[in-house]
Structure 1
């Protein structure tokens, strides 16, 4: 890596204030007194009035490395890529009057989301015949990386009364009525599922109410593992040990973990379960899939930092941290693009659309006219993968012997359970031995009826997802087919061409017009493309975002346009990384695994010793100017056994 570090001392006064919604510079500081104290007093008042509406950004330099808070990735739009970056829209929003939920073309309410979901995709348990739990774990990790969970926390913890008498009158509520004859809940006495509307820029006074409401996102929108490192410079700073580029850690059974102490593990069963991730972002304590993948990348960072420090003793903490983080992000991005997404979307489709490339060199496709943002359509539409989630966690030992089965939904916000009774060892083995749910027209009962486990008595994630699409004003399914240059349905009968008959019949009975069909309802029942898990409409939305991520990220690992880019030799090593190698190096009690770990073991993908899984040669990161001792000259591969 042609890496360098610019250490710039920037005072609060040298920052420029930007409006988070528009991304434009706020003129307020230009009108203030030249007095430093007057300026600071004015800025303090400004932040108190609109704390989520502004972001201060030290002036950008084209020669500095990737900032930990995501600012200055795009020199034309310095705030885009940081926290509070608004969602991108593929199509203009379609709300009812005054920003209300989308309605039918006649103005009537759209069909009941719970009744629609149960009719379209019923509860059922069918194992996937090809893919492992790792597919949904990695998809969850991406979701946790690029979106914030504050809206979910709102209806779980804060606004819990939407189903109470009069609760539906609360403008922040959108409860889901459960029909009295609901096939799954009719004997439960539950007639309503609590749900709230998204927090918006308008609600916080950050955008005019005359504009359509836009959901706030407190997570940076790029693929930067912010749910582990932190969403801003404060969180990242909190996560750091400030020694040798390391993240703060504690040790349990010889393995590193983020430090304990976050207060959000509401489902921990005391007194045995007391641990809760408290690194740069407590959001890592979310669903179990995020906990696992985040833990592996946490350990990966520290292992990389130690190798770099040993090879290059003249490097200081800052350079070691930034370089280790850049390499760690590159490994994460590479696994996502070149290993996961070919299974989800198909290798040939990705290659055709220039999402991935068959090359050993750099790929310089950065475009500074593309803002670093994530589309709201991607966020809502990819919630399709909830239908792939398996509701049961199967635990295995390292010889593949089945040990136990747990309810997956009981382990959200329950990180403390991982370190009790060898749970983390068992679920790590299960991640690459257990199949995910089938890619079919069923949703696991644990996902469909109690996705939030003990945090809510009943919660249907797919019904909630349909409502969230209406809340943010996503236009109809037909409009996205049109956007993607796909045939549209002029009548319900046209849907038979790309959907199963039973599901088309449900849609025709549920909606007044084919123009009313919800995007997510259509996506969930589209027939998959050949060689892919998803249908053409979702594939189109995902490809748009995958292109946006790589082309809008000035520091994307494959390009060579910035001073800190990887050399071709370093890029060659990064391209060796697989999810199997990551788990071998950082999983608990893993000494063997199948080479393609997103795919179930089979006769062409047999479980093999970790020594047979390709590893990186770290010599390409050696800095010859450090005058290393001879003992440091033999570090060529990442040690698969973590010694602390």
Structure 2
């Protein structure tokens, strides 16, 4: 139940090298070789005998400045620094990682104590009187449910973590708790990447179900893009706003999504989403099916692509399948980026901040600077861009073509059930447009905080606490305390 497997891939060669070097760092520190020097300098000297090619993947291939279309996966998006922002490279950082041992152990408090229990924090924050709001008064009067799902689309387009898996296994079979979820596994049985989370004995939701432990499996270590010996985390998607959620990060994956004619995607008979060789829904990003409302945002872009491709093919009958497809891809990505900068960001940040940080373009727009690193920062991916989780409503509204509400489906009943779109596509889309998102001040809904990826345990509905995941991801990534970022003049 608590083996959370939404973001899982088997370890790459780079991940395995990082595992070895990470253990090397721990041994160097454990046996006191760094007592007379700063740890950073000591480690650097001790690692000099490791060949460069064994520390990281060196850049391969060259960029063609005359290439018409941007590459899938982000390689050569920046001709000066081809690997910047491409898929399967480390996240960037605003501040240096903060780990208790200087390597990878979770940060501790100023009094050198363990950080507060994540579930206790979740309970304290969400049980505050100001956060207990599920009524219509909690609705945002400006933004609707579509805005939340578009935010999630942007999040998935720019970030995807990779968690530790068993060697040679592409599914996360790691649990940190006893099979009864009564306690963490004993030290001699637990995976080193496990961080079991004890749940309070008086927890208002889990305790009466006999659940007192939730698993958290850490992110895969990888190597810094400058080949230095340092523990970092890998972003398996490109950092660019290139709709890899639709077009994927690899040409092999993209090939499986496409028709062999007309520059089209291979859609199901109801024109909802692409289908794989077994006839099941698929997409450029594996997370498309978390909820039907997220799947619907993907669907709209796939439909839009095929509409543009059909029109382009009609006026350019001499174009090849690839010509139509990649020209359409360029147009669709341009629309997507325009929506982000002219419609979505002003709603999220406000016009004043967008203007202050030059996030909108007025008049001449040739502002490209190759020396600005476009790499997604880990602070953004694991912290700041979790903001919209508080906006997620408790229900999905189903609305008929007259605008009348037909039903409210609890969000937890829709996890991993994108097939519901086959029967209720238009009704759910109408509901998303009419339904208000929750206000920022009202905390996480119980559908996310207690029932995320819901399942049955001893006949009762249970799930993961989404706020716990957000707290643990922040700690796992070595994010510094908020107060350390406050003085930075962004």
TM over 0.5: yes
2:134 matched to which residue of 1?
A: 125
Note the 1:246-261 alignment, pairs <5 A.
246-252=264-270, 255=271, 257-261=273-277
Counterpart selection for 1:402 from 381, 405, 414: 405
C-alpha separation in 1, matches of 2:353 and 2:64: 37
Counterpart selection for 2:98 from 84, 94, 98: 94
Instruction: State TM-score, norm by structure 1.
Output: 0.60
C-alpha separation in 2, matches of 1:167 and 1:298: 48
C-alpha separation in 2, matches of 1:53 and 1:413: 36
C-alpha separation in 1, matches of 2:417 and 2:165: 15
Distance change >3 Å, CA 181–CA 114, structure 1 → 2: same
1:613 matched to which residue of 2?
A: none
2:415 matched to which residue of 1?
A: 412
C-alpha separation in 1, matches of 2:160 and 2:119: 24
Q: Secondary structure in 1 aligned to 2:409?
A: strand
Q: Secondary structure in 2 aligned to 1:216?
A: strand
C-alpha separation in 1, matches of 2:164 and 2:466: 11
Q: Secondary structure in 2 aligned to 1:458?
A: strand
Superimposed CA distance per residue, residues 327-364 of structure 1 (whole angstroms, 9 cap, x where no aligned partner): 101111111221111111101210121011233xx411
Q: Tell me how far 1:232 sits from its aligned partner.
A: 1.4
Distance change >3 Å, CA 118–CA 331, structure 1 → 2: same
Distance change >3 Å, CA 371–CA 342, structure 1 → 2: same
C-alpha separation in 1, matches of 2:386 and 2:299: 23
2:31 matched to which residue of 1?
A: none
2:467 matched to which residue of 1?
A: 462
Note the 1:415-494 alignment, pairs <5 A.
415-419=418-422, 422-454=423-455, 457-484=462-489
Instruction: State TM-score, norm by structure 2.
Output: 0.78
C-alpha separation in 2, matches of 1:92 and 1:412: 36
Q: CA RMSD in A?
A: 3.1
C-alpha separation in 1, matches of 2:286 and 2:238: 15
Note the 1:80-479 alignment, pairs <5 A.
80-97=84-101, 98-122=103-127, 124-126=133-135, 127-130=138-141, 131-148=143-160, 150-151=162-163, 158-164=172-178, 165-166=184-185, 169-201=190-222, 210-211=229-230, 213-252=231-270, 255=271, 257-261=273-277, 276-359=280-363, 362-380=364-382, 381-419=384-422, 422-454=423-455, 457-479=462-484
Q: Is the 8 A contact 2:274 2:281 kept in 1?
A: yes
C-alpha separation in 2, matches of 1:412 and 1:150: 21
Q: Is the 8 A contact 1:148 1:219 kept in 2?
A: yes
C-alpha separation in 1, matches of 2:414 and 2:226: 37
Q: Is the 8 A contact 2:275 2:282 kept in 1?
A: yes
C-alpha separation in 1, matches of 2:332 and 2:165: 29
**Residue segments in structure 1 that go unaligned for 5+ positions in a row:** 1-17, 23-48, 263-274, 485-539, 541-644
Superimposed CA distance per residue, residues 356-398 of structure 1 (whole angstroms, 9 cap, x where no aligned partner): 1233xx4111111123311111112211211111121110012
Q: Secondary structure in 1 aligned to 2:269?
A: strand
C-alpha separation in 2, matches of 1:179 and 1:93: 29
Q: Is the 8 A contact 2:162 2:234 kept in 1?
A: no
C-alpha separation in 1, matches of 2:292 and 2:133: 21
Q: Tell me how far 1:303 sits from its aligned partner.
A: 0.6
C-alpha separation in 1, matches of 2:162 and 2:245: 13
Note the 1:29-48 alignment, pairs <5 A.
none
Q: How many residues align?
A: 420
C-alpha separation in 2, matches of 1:395 and 1:341: 27
Q: Is the 8 A contact 1:173 1:195 kept in 2?
A: yes
Distance change >3 Å, CA 139–CA 320, structure 1 → 2: same
Q: Tell me how far 1:411 sits from its aligned partner.
A: 2.4
Q: Tell me how far 1:150 sits from its aligned partner.
A: 4.3
Q: Tell me how far 1:156 sits from its aligned partner.
A: 12
Bigger Cα displacement from structure 2, 435-444 vs 216-225: 435-444
Q: Is the 8 A contact 2:264 2:306 kept in 1?
A: yes
C-alpha separation in 1, matches of 2:16 and 2:80: 15
C-alpha separation in 2, matches of 1:90 and 1:209: 17
Q: Tell me how far 1:54 sits from its aligned partner.
A: 4.0
Distance change >3 Å, CA 396–CA 55, structure 1 → 2: farther
Q: Secondary structure in 2 aligned to 1:304?
A: helix
Superimposed CA distance per residue, residues 240-264 of structure 1 (whole angstroms, 9 cap, x where no aligned partner): 2231211222322xx35312457xx
Q: Is the 8 A contact 1:21 1:53 kept in 2?
A: no
Distance change >3 Å, CA 357–CA 280, structure 1 → 2: closer
C-alpha separation in 2, matches of 1:223 and 1:149: 17
Q: Is the 8 A contact 2:273 2:283 kept in 1?
A: no
**Residue segments in structure 2 that go unaligned for 5+ positions in a row:** 1-12, 18-52, 179-183
